[in-house]
Amino acid sequence: MDSIKHVEDAKQTGTTTVGLVCKDGIVLASDRRATMGYFIASKDIDKIYPVSDRIAMTIAGSVGDAQTLIRWMNAELKLYELKHEKAATVEAAAVLLANILSQYKYYPFFVQLLIGGIDEKPRLFSVDMLGGITEEKMTSTGSGSPIAYGVMEELYALDQDISVNLPIAAKAVSAAMKRDAATGERVDLAVITKFGFKRLEKEDVARLMKA
């Protein structure tokens, strides 16, 4: 079992993930590749995870560490809702995640995370492996992020709807896939609105990319 765990922990989502704040919600995007050094360990791994009805996270870094944090956040946010009889705000969820990471800074989780969602308004936070937290309107993580930023800086519009910014997020990840070896396979897209979390089907993403 120990050897299996070490192999799992060695998987890295070299990755490109993107988060955009829109007038009516949040857009999250990522690729689907996981690597072990120069070896492509998986061509179809989730990097966007809902952690409550209207909050989701993206992962970059160690797959094992990130999946542990996803399970932890799911449990903590459910407990929060039961205790307080209301859902946690996006900011509360981001602070909780930052506090968890800060507690383990001497044995850190090797991750870079985005957490976004909607309560009174759409909000997006970037959280690093030591628990540093910043609120963003447009951001990217992972090895392909410099390429993604180039696309977003040119095209992103803060005051636009999800329908306008969705193809921009897709283009940012797609551009990274062309130049970053650790980013690849296909683009994954998800949106968070007042109606909840929704992941786009592969066919819908493909049509969006061709438009």
Sorted by where each begins, the domain ranges of the chain are 2-203
164, two tokens: 């306008």
CATH superfamily of 2-203: Aminohydrolase, N-terminal nucleophile (Ntn) domain (3.60.20.10)
What is the mean pLDDT of the segment spanning 191-196?
Answer: 96
Distance CA 198, CA 191 (A): 5
Map residue 1 onto helix, strand or coil: coil
Q: How many of the other CB atoms lie within 10 Å of CB of 174?
A: 20
Give the global pTM.
0.89
SS3 string, 108-175, reads CCCEEEEEEEECCCEEEEEECCCCCEEEECEEEECCCHHHHHHHHHHHCCCCCCHHHHHHHHHHHHHH
pLDDT at residue 198 is higher than 70: yes
| Whole-number pLDDT of residue 2 | 39
pLDDT in tens, 64-81: 899 999 999 999 999 999
Residues 6+ apart with CB under 8 A from 207: none
Confidence band, pLDDT 50/70/90 cuts, at residue 51: very high
pLDDT in tens, 165-188: 999 999 999 999 888 777 777 899
Catalytic annotation, residues:
15
| Whole-number pLDDT of residue 208 | 86
Mean pLDDT of the chain: 88
| Whole-number pLDDT of residue 87 | 92
